[in-house]
Amino acid sequence: MPDPLALALSPQIGPSRLRQALATDLSVEAVAELLGREIASGYAKALQEGRAEQEREQAARLGLRLIGLWEPDYPEALQHLDSPPMVLYLKGELPPSERNIAVVGTRKASPWATAWTHRVARELAEAGVGIISGLALGIDAASHKGALEGGGYTLGVLGSAMDRFYPPQNRALAEKMHVLSEFPLGTPPQPGLFPRRNRIVAALARAVLVVEAGEKSGSLITARFAAELGRDVLAVPGRPGDAFSLGCNRLIQDGAGLVMNTEDVLNALGVRAPQKQALPLEGPEALVYRALLELSEALPDDLAQTTGLPTSETLSALMVLEIKGLVQCSAGRYAPV
Q: pLDDT above 70 covers what percent of the chain?
A: 98
Q: What is the pLDDT of residue 301?
A: 92
User: 130-144, 199-213, 216-230, 275-289 — which is least confidently predicted?
Assistant: 275-289
DSSP assignment string, 298-337 = B-HHHHHHHH---HHHHHHHHHHHHHTTSEEEETTEEEE-
Q: What is the pLDDT of residue 277?
A: 54
More confident position, 336 or 102:
102
- Going by DSSP bridges, is the β-strand pair 333-336/327-330 parallel, antiparallel, or unpaired? antiparallel
Pair 266, 272: CB distance under 8 Å: yes
What length is written for the chain?
337
What are the tens digits of pLDDT across the range 132-144?
A: 999 999 999 999 9
Separation of alpha carbons 55 and 6, rounded Å? 9
Separation of alpha carbons 166 and 161, rounded Å? 9
Separation of alpha carbons 198 and 159, rounded Å? 8
CB atoms within 10 A of CB 206: 22
Separation of alpha carbons 59 and 294, rounded Å? 47
Binned at pLDDT 50, 70 and 90, residue 1 comes out as confident
Q: What is the pLDDT of residue 233?
A: 97
Q: What is the pLDDT of residue 327?
A: 85
pTM of the model: 0.82
Q: For the chain, list the domains and their CATH numbers.
A: 4-91 (no CATH), 100-269 (3.40.50.450), 283-336 (1.10.10.10)
Separation of alpha carbons 35 and 190, rounded Å? 29
Pair 153, 125: CB distance under 8 Å: yes
Contacts of residue 63, Cβ cutoff 8 Å, sequence gap at least 6: 91
Pick from 250, 252, 272: nearest CA to 263: 272
**DSSP percent split of the chain into helix, strand, coil, nearest 5:** 45, 15, 40
Q: What is the pLDDT of residue 292?
A: 86
Q: Supply the mean pLDDT for the chain.
A: 93
